[in-house]
Chain A
Amino acid sequence: MTGAANYFGSILLAAWLVSAAMGDQPFDAVSSFLGSPIGLIILFGYTWSVMHHMLGGVRHFIWDFGYGFEIPTVRALSWGTLLGSLTLTAVIWVSAVSHWGAAR
């Protein structure tokens, strides 16, 4: 589910870097789309999706190594993945907003 979302989210990443490599006009076009309300919503969703997918992957690694199959542990891991991905997403966005334009 999140993997498929990340798959299409990669278009955003490629478009951003390619437009920066191409020139001012393409970069401004992509930047203004990503900075628009719909762009920000998509970026927020992409951030959450990637973070959730990553923590879900870590959970699968724990299972791959043979741990965490008890039902209470499975439930804890499941909630931990969700709360963790929300926390990471919030931290990333708070950092991003507070760093707005700080690169210059």
Chain B
Amino acid sequence: MTNYRTALKDARGLGSAKGGTGDFWLQRVTAVSNILVVAFLVYTAVHLTGASRLDVKTYFSQPIAAIFGVLLAFSISVHMRIGMQVIIEDYVHGFWKVPLLLMNTFFAVLIGAATVLAVIKLFLGA
């Protein structure tokens, strides 16, 4: 159906979604924590370049490496979920917006959960 109302008329009176400030702040908190965990990732990647699977297991059997591995998973998955949500909200309108927002959250949670589980399994040496 053709909508003759202006975009401004549609938006007026709705108020904000109320969640914006939280995401804004969380994106900056995780931006800072990402610097720390990416420093760990760079060290890890350089250290484990050309490494065997046993080397990787040995490396992640160290508690400090496992802790940073879990923090890395949380920090980047939260940050990338908010970042992609903003991209979708800015550029996608209409039918695909909500499915894409859902897929974005599922993707971020999947990456985070898989990485955490992998690090825990490597830490336990299983």
Contact = CB atoms under 8 A, between A and B. Distances in A.
Interface of A: 3-4, 6-7, 10-11, 13-14, 17-18, 20-21, 23-24, 27-28, 50, 54, 57-58, 61, 64, 92, 95-97, 99-104
B17 interface: no
B45 interface: yes
B57 A20 contact: yes
Interface size class of B (residues with CB under 8 A): 35 or more
A6 B123 CA distance: 26
A3 B90 CA distance: 14
Given A4-B84, A13-B115, A103 B77 contact: no
B59 interface: yes
Interface of B: 28, 31, 34-35, 38, 41-42, 45-60, 69, 76-77, 80, 83-84, 87, 111, 114-115, 117-119, 121-122
B118 A20 contact: yes
| Dominant secondary structure of chain B at its interface with chain A | helix
B110 to A, nearest CB: 8
Given A7-B83, A96-B46, A99-B46, A17 B69 contact: yes
| Dominant secondary structure of chain A at its interface with chain B | helix
A54 B55 contact: no
A2 B87 CA distance: 12
B10 to A, nearest CB: 29
B118 A104 contact: no
